[in-house]
Amino acid sequence: MCAGRNDISQFVNTSSTDDSDTSSNSKSAPIPQDRSSSIDASSIQGIGLNELAADLLAYNVTDMCTESYSIGSGNIKQTIPVNRTCRCVIFDQLFAANTTLQQFAPFIRPLLYGKIYYYPSNIYYDNLIKELNQTFESVDQLIQFLREIEVNMQPTYQTLSSLCNSISNATIICQQLSTLTTPMSLFVVLTEFIACTELNRFVAKSSESQLVQDGQNNSLTNTFLAGIVFLDDITGNSGLPQHVRYKIRMSLDYVDSTFQTQDK
């Protein structure tokens, strides 16, 4: 599967053969912190779609990169490293570099990467959580389906590219190739963005206080989304009550201030 994904970069690599070789050689190297600044701002909202897609496909699906979060200010500062797939790190750098996308980053990153903690853990609540996690399992199926489409479209693109380069009077074919490149790039970008979604979302915690503490710490690196505390104490074989009571714990950064509410 990884080998097939590497070949798909020919869909969106509009540079010469030498440039393509340089891109493939960079797969084992970590992503530079300022890589997003090299993206050509010549497309939608200042984002070079073809270049972004080529950057994403320069890495295998499983390639991991490290990005750093700076916490604190002044003399009290800490750098926290977080490992993510290199393709997702590219998106993070794009969000950091683009002034329009910066506004959405604090909300989108937790939705993509954030874990959902829950307490307590027992056979009844665990089974309930498994049902909830089926939503994210369906996302995984969608990702696999979209990537299969990418692979299946590759021969058509390669054929058009070969004809465009080999036939002297192939204006129509080259035009078709040109009109196909940008939609394919958009398809790749959307697919890889969806693929950044954390699929194993739910994590059991030993206590509510531990849930809160871990949530506070991990919200700093966008790896915490919310906590669920079930309020019914289930003992023995009593099973789930007819109406399950729970409360949701979230970081203050993800919740609107009550000062914004008013009577309507």
Of 41-45, 86-90, 159-163, the range with the highest mean pLDDT is 86-90
The helix/strand/coil state of 201 is coil
Whose CA is closest to 93, among 82, 217, 195, 101? 101
Of 4-13, 155-164, 206-215, 251-260, the range with the highest mean pLDDT is 206-215
Task: Look at residue 118 in the predicted model and tell me its pLDDT.
Answer: 96
Q: Is the pLDDT of residue 24 over 50?
A: no
pTM of the model: 0.70
The helix/strand/coil state of 239 is coil
Q: Are 230 and 120 in contact (CB under 8 A)?
A: yes
pLDDT per position as a tens digit, 85-140: 999 999 998 888 888 888 888 889 999 999 999 999 999 999 999 998 888 888 98
d(CA 193, CA 215): 24
Task: Look at residue 41 in the predicted model and tell me its pLDDT.
Answer: 33
Q: Which residues contact 113 (CB under 8 A, 6 or more apart)?
A: 84, 88, 196, 198, 222, 223
222: left (phi over 0), alpha (psi -120 to 50) or beta: left
Distance of CA 89 to the CA centre of its chain: 8
- Other C-beta atoms within 10 Å of 84: how many? 21
Q: Is the pLDDT of residue 46 over 70?
A: no
Torsion of CA 180, 184, 185, 190, to 10 degrees: 150
pLDDT per position as a tens digit, 213-250: 999 989 888 899 999 999 988 877 778 888 899 999 98
pLDDT per position as a tens digit, 171-182: 777 776 777 788
Task: Look at residue 260 in the predicted model and tell me its pLDDT.
Answer: 57
Q: Is the pLDDT of residue 154 over 60?
A: yes
Task: Look at residue 224 in the predicted model and tell me its pLDDT.
Answer: 93
pLDDT band at 259 (very low <50, low <70, confident <90, very high): low
